[in-house]
């Protein structure tokens, strides 16, 4: 069925009195805010840069939708979708499939002023990063690319860029992540992304160190292997300790780094350093999750399932 022809601006304003009349018994509605200051409750069917198509409360189902020129509209207040308010109240607990549906349904409004489509896209991308499937992380990058390129809100675009970096880190695309982090840190004083990248690089070095020592049990006698082994060890420890040394008030990251540095020392067989780092952790950050994981570790050969290898909790 073809939509009703666009209402001329003069005629559109003339019928505002009854269009803007309160409606009862309706679900949450979209609202057109007009440049005259008047508002029109409705259900938006489509919107472009030039035309908005909508249905009015009480219209017959078989009646053609109305349309108006966007030059008469100051902005559109988009109604929340079913379940959206609950998701926004606690997005970290929202089922991924719920976030995916909200994003799919709202993405058509991406870039429209006052639409929260981009914010929902970022929440969906973060939920994907909490999963363990690299395909999910790739999907998160695709979503973040759309949001950072098209959303109207500068903060949401920035959030999309940060989430994209987290996805690059999870995929171990470190060169790309490093460039993105440099660009973002030039715009903000927040060291969070740099800390995340350093931690991921250190974990990668530690994995390489473990593999190298397993493949070369006599590494100390090998003039070719020994320098690489020592480089991996020292670079991993240096990166793990950076939050503690330079951002000590960020307790979670600093404590996590100390715990991981202790693990690196254990892998390297450096028991004295391992004990010293754990002592610092327990003394300075006793109430952190890392300190809880560190308590009772006395055997230098003991390994742990590192909780910091999990997806970022955003």
pLDDT in tens, 73-89: 999 999 999 999 999 99
Same CATH fold, 192-309 and 84-185? Answer: yes
Q: Is the pLDDT of residue 27 over 60?
A: no
Domain spans of the chain? 9-77, 84-185, 192-309
In this predicted structure, what is the pLDDT of residue 309? 46
Q: 140 exposed, middle or buried (CB, 10 Å; 0-12, 13-18, 19+)?
A: buried
In this structure, what DSSP letter does residue 30 have? E
**Can you spell out the DSSP letters for 196-227?**
HHHHHHHHHHHHHHHHHHHH-TTGGG-TTHHH
CA pair distance 193, 213, nearest whole angstrom: 30
Look-up of token digits 């909780």: 307
- In a 13 Å sphere around the CA of 209, the CA atoms on its Cβ side amount to 23
Residue 295: in which H helix or E strand, if any? none
pLDDT, the chain, mean: 87
Q: How confident is the model at residue 51 (pLDDT cuts 50, 70, 90)?
A: very high
Q: Which of 79, 34, 41, 77 is nearest to 59 (CA)?
A: 41
In this predicted structure, what is the pLDDT of residue 190? 87
Q: Is 25 left (phi over 0), alpha (psi -120 to 50) or beta?
A: left
Structure tokens at 38: 């008047």
Yes or no: say if 255 and 285 are a contact pair by the CB < 8 Å rule: yes
Yes or no: say if 299 and 259 are a contact pair by the CB < 8 Å rule: no
Q: Which fold has domain 84-185?
A: 1.25.40
Q: Which of 78, 40, 36, 72 is nearest to 56 (CA)?
A: 40
Task: Count the neighbouring beta carbons within 10 Å of the beta carbon of residue 2.
Answer: 6
In this predicted structure, what is the pLDDT of residue 296? 75
Residue length of the chain: 314
Look-up of token digits 């609202």: 31
Q: Which fold has domain 192-309?
A: 1.25.40
- CATH top-level class of 9-77: mainly beta
Say which residue, 2 or 237, is predicted with more confidence. Answer: 237
Instruction: Specify which of 27-31, 33-37, 62-66, 123-127 reaches the highest per-range mean pLDDT.
Output: 123-127
In this predicted structure, what is the pLDDT of residue 194? 95
Residue pLDDT, tens place only, 245-284: 999 999 999 999 999 999 999 999 999 999 999 999 999 9
Q: How confident is the model at residue 42 (pLDDT cuts 50, 70, 90)?
A: very high
Structure tokens at 152: 């109207």
Residue pLDDT, tens place only, 100-122: 999 999 999 999 999 999 999 99
């Amino acid at each position: 069925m073809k939509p009703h022809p666009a209402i001329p601006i003069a005629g559109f304003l003339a019928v505002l009195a009854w269009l803007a009349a309160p409606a009862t018994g309706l679900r949450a509605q979209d609202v057109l805010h007009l440049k005259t200051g008047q508002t029109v409750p409705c259900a938006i069917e489509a919107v472009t840069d030039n035309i908005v198509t909508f249905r009015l409360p009480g219209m017959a189902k078989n009646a053609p939708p109305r349309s108006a020129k966007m030059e008469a509209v100051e902005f559109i207040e988009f109604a929340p979708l079913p379940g959206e308010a609950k998701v926004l109240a606690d997005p970290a607990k929202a089922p991924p499939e719920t976030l995916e549906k909200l994003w799919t349904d709202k993405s058509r409004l991406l870039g429209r002023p006052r639409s929260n489509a981009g914010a929902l896209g970022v929440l969906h991308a973060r939920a994907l990063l909490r999963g363990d499937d690299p395909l999910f992380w790739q999907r998160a990058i695709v979503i973040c690319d759309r949001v950072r390129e098209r959303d109207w809100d500068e903060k949401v675009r920035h959030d999309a860029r940060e989430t994209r970096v987290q996805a690059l880190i999870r995929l171990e695309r470190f060169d790309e992540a490093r460039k993105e982090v440099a660009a973002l840190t030039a715009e903000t004083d927040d060291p969070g992304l740099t800390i995340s990248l350093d931690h991921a690089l250190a974990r990668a070095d530690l994995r390489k160190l473990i593999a190298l020592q397993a493949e070369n049990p006599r590494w100390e006698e090998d003039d070719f292997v020994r320098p690489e082994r020592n480089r991996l060890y020292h670079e991993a420890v240096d990166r793990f300790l950076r939050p503690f040394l330079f951002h000590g008030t960020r307790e979670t990251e600093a404590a996590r780094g100390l715990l991981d540095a202790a693990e690196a020392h254990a892998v390297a067989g450096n028991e004295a350093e391992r004990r010293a780092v754990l002592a610092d952790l327990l003394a300075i950050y006793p109430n952190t999750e890392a300190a809880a994981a560190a308590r009772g570790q006395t055997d230098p050969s003991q390994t742990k399932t590192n909780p910091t290898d999990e997806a970022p909790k955003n």
